[in-house]
Structure 1
Amino acid sequence: MPCNESQVFQPIALSPVPLHTQLRERLRERILDGSYAPHAQLPAESELGAIFGVSRITVRQALGDLQKEGLIFKVPGKGTFVAKPKAFQELTQLEGLAEAMSRMGYEIYNQVVSHKTVPASAKVAQKLGLAKDQPVCEIKRVRHLNREPLSLEITYVRAELGERLAGEDLAGRDIFAILENDYGITLGHADLRIEAVLSDAALAHALRVDEGSAILRMERLTHSAGADGTPHSQQVPLDFEYLYFRGDAFQYRLQVARRHP
């Protein structure tokens, strides 16, 4: 059913600010404060025009802006709906997914798909500083956010570390937390590479999305800190991962500053 417009009729006021911009901000405010709940249907364009005292063209411009922002989506023949907010993680510090999501009130559960020893591929060996085909531990987990699959995480560590992790609660804890809190290994820094890919059949099945859906793919190589505790002193490759996130449910955020000479 469409959202009910419960607030008092308040037409858009005359202002130097364009009408569609004012309407966009009004609608965005109601979406973000929960007046229009996720997956709720917005009033029809004609109804919005009557509510706010603007033309249908103005309404379409405002809705178009909101759709580009990912706040709403349109279903042909049915109407316009409020999009479910995406979970996000800041890339300002090195932390595990559960650590970041729990801080924001989300529930994280990990389904351990496999935990086995495999020959290191050329890339995994190069990342971990090993010889090709040397045994490494491969850990596959589907990570669930509020009971819905969010990401597939494939982790590679040296075989001896993988054997220790086999006895840990990998369904309920971040590997980072285990390494630091249980094993006393101080994490230093991580090298990241992020790109967009399309899901194949295996990814689509694991994440419950259509094959060919947009997936956010990250490669992350984490190093332990040096002997003196500083991130780049005697750095040692510790953990190499492929992280695949649903493009419709997750985003990374990063604030960058202009570097001045």
Structure 2
Amino acid sequence: MISEGSHGAAPSRTPPAARPEGESTLIERWSAVPLYQQLFEILREEIVSGRLKADQRVATEFELMRRFGVSRTTVRQTIARLRQEGLISVHRGKGTFVGRGKIEPELSALTGFVEDMQALGLTASAKVLGVENVKAPERVAESLAVPRGELVTKVTRIRLAEAVPVSFEYSFLPLELGRRVAEENLEVSPIFSLFEDKYGIALGEALYRIEAARATRAVALALEIERGAPVLAIERTTYSTAGRPVDFEQMFYRGDRIRYSMRLKRRRPGA
């Protein structure tokens, strides 16, 4: 049995119905380039050239199979690659849409989500899913410098850029601060702004831990992505200028929507 893209007996020709009138770009079945790679390049060119606009719905699996005369496996490989490149996004129950390109904040200073989005000319918003007092698990207790099991305030939010879910996050606050924050409208007021502008707490620095991860069920539902999809997991502990930890966050960013850039200076060994 010969798989797609393999050399050997001639595969069946694409039926006429699979080639819309005026279609100029076709799959080259005798090429050494795998079919999914050819299809990826065709669709990528349509997106990059602007033939497919941002937020425009992409053809379904069946429509792509019929248009190009390829298997569902080939189409799914192509869709997966386009998602990895941030060129499309999949919304459960709605379909696949052309992406808007990756958001690329610069990681060069301690800034909040709203500040990052504003610097890029994007409108930021938030959806609060819950505010509750919980017993601090070990990781949270260590980060906030409180005893394990002590009550802390947990804020669960979805952060959006241009009304598109970008980040799902848990914020843990020392109880004294958390009680004050719980009284605020967190869909309007960023926590950093409350600290500095309302509570008089000057923020000094933060410790970041960044790693690749896969979306859990909760993260996937919040960000409208598939369970197991790649996400950028960030832990951030923020300290006041007095050195006191005031906020510990666990943030999960959509891998198809965001990446960070940074410029680093050379530090010579021994210097």
Structure-2-length-normalised TM-score: 0.65
Identity of aligned residues (%): 33
- Pairwise CA RMSD of aligned residues? 3.0
Unaligned runs of 5+ in 2: 1-43, 58-81, 89-96
2:58 aligned with 1:70 = no
* Residues 109-151 of structure 1: CA deviation (Å, up to 9, x unaligned): 1111110100111111111111110110000001111111111
Equivalents in 1 of 2:86, 2:256: separation in Å? 12
1:115 and 2:123 correspond:
no
Q: Which amino acid aligns with 2:200?
A: G
1:7-156 alignment, distance < 5 Å: 31=48, 37-38=53-54, 70=85, 83-156=99-172
User: CA 1:35/1:210 → structure 2, altered by over 3 Å: closer, same or farther?
Assistant: closer
Structure 1 residues 35, 124: CA separation in 2 closer, same or farther (over 3 Å shift)?
same
- Distance apart, 1:37 and its partner CA: 4.3
Match of 1:164 among 155, 161, 180: 180
Q: How much has 1:172 moved relative to structure 2?
A: 1.6
CA distance in 1, matches of 2:121, 2:233: 24
Preserved contact between residue 84 and residue 256 of structure 2 (Cα < 8 Å) = no
Aligned match for 1:220, one of 219, 223, 236: 236
Shift of 1:70: 3.3
Does the C-alpha gap of structure 1 residues 119 and 87 become closer, same or farther in structure 2, counting only changes over 3 Å? same
SS at the partner of 2:122?
Answer: coil
What do the CA deviations read for 1:60-113 (whole angstroms, capped 9, x no partner)? xxxxxxx7993757xxxxxxx975311121110001001110232211111111
Q: Distance in 2 between matches of 1:206 and 1:154?
A: 12
1:152-184 Cα shifts (integer Å, max 9, x gaps)? 110001111011001212002211111001111
Question: Where in structure 1 are there 5+ consecutive unaligned residues?
Answer: 1-26, 42-66, 74-80, 227-234
**Contact 1:120/1:132, CA 8 A, preserved across alignment:** yes
- What corresponds to 2:249 in structure 1? 241
Partner of 2:204: 188
Q: Secondary structure at the match of 2:248?
A: strand
| 2:226 maps to 1:210 | yes
Letter in 1 for 2:146: L
Q: CA deviation at 1:38?
A: 3.4
Question: Match of 1:257, as an amino acid?
Answer: K
Q: Classify the secondary structure of the residue corresponding to 1:243.
A: strand
What SS does structure 1 have at the residue aligned with 2:121? coil
- Alignment-derived partner of residue 35 in structure 2: none
Cα offsets for 1:168-203 (capped at 9, x unmatched) = 120022111110011110000000000011112111
Which has more strand, going by share of residues?
Answer: 1
